[in-house]
Amino acid sequence: MDKTPSGKSLLSLILFTVIISFACSYLAWAYLLDEAREYHFKGDKLQSEGKLDAAVKYYQKAIGIDKNYLAAYNGLAICYEKKGLISRAERWYLKALKVDPHYAPAHYNLGLFYEKYGKIGKAIYHWKARARLGHPAEPAGIKARAKLKKYAPEELQEIDARNLARRIMGQKEKDALDKILGRNKYRTSEEKIQDYYLGGMQHYQEGDYQGAQEYFYKMIEALPLSKPIEK
């Protein structure tokens, strides 16, 4: 009796082998990621205790497992900064941003780093990036905005003007304005909304960000379907 496996049986066996191999690889990788997290947490603990050399070793172990472990990059940079190894600290902060240009903690920390060493222009650049990232109510975001208000208030006004413009356009995309403008009883509101929008954009294009903010606030407040804004 011929017991050579049929083509269908052979295909099933190959598929089963591939699935098992993939599952094993996934489990092994998941285990390594857990190990990297443990190294990172140990590094944070040791850093908080002032044991910087030991913390550095654990952060390096975490990065050795996961080359994209941004929190470990950030922790390593903080350790080097505390140890007075300035060039190393800067290099690792920048490495984190090379992996992810939108990594907020590195932007905020670099802002503080450059402020400490008198490079205010670079500090403003990173605080501006931090202010654009995450929720504005986050503690680090609030602190970044405070730094901008101190060193470059015009940059903060630009960010606020842009954010307000995005909010306005977002409401348009949701057809809020279409619903308003389609009703005759909102004719007066429509004229005000258009005037405020055009006035805000004119001020924005002229670089008068504070004036643009005032017009954008008035425009949003004129929308019958919008909620009041807390200034």
Distance CA 117, CA 157 (A): 26
Q: Is the dihedral of CA 99, 103, 105, 111 positive or negative?
A: positive
Q: Would residue 195 count as lying in a domain?
A: yes
Instruction: Tell whether the model's pLDDT for residue 183 goes beyond 80.
Output: no
Q: Would residue 69 count as lying in a domain?
A: no
Enclosing domain of residue 169 = 154-231
Mean pLDDT check: name the lowest of 10-19, 147-156, 176-185, 197-206: 176-185
Instruction: Tell whether the model's pLDDT for residue 20 goes beyond 60.
Output: no
Instruction: Tell whether the model's pLDDT for residue 85 goes beyond 50.
Output: yes
Backbone angles phi, psi at 187, to 5 degrees: -60, -45
Q: How far is CA 170 from CA 69, 121, 222, in A?
A: 33, 32, 16
Q: Would residue 43 count as lying in a domain?
A: no
Q: Would residue 201 count as lying in a domain?
A: yes
CB 141 within 8 A of CB 130: yes
Residue 210 token pair: 């504070």
Q: Would residue 100 count as lying in a domain?
A: no
Q: Would residue 94 count as lying in a domain?
A: no
Instruction: Tell whether the model's pLDDT for residue 29 goes beyond 90.
Output: no
pLDDT classification of 174: cutoffs 50, 70, 90: very low
Q: Would residue 147 count as lying in a domain?
A: no
Q: Would residue 62 count as lying in a domain?
A: no
Mean pLDDT check: name the lowest of 24-28, 94-98, 116-120, 162-166: 24-28
Q: What mean pLDDT, rounded, does the chain reach?
A: 77
Q: Looking at the 3D structure of the chain, how many domains does it have? A: 1
DSSP 57-95: HHHHHHHHH-TT-HHHHHHHHHHHHHTT-HHHHHHHHHH
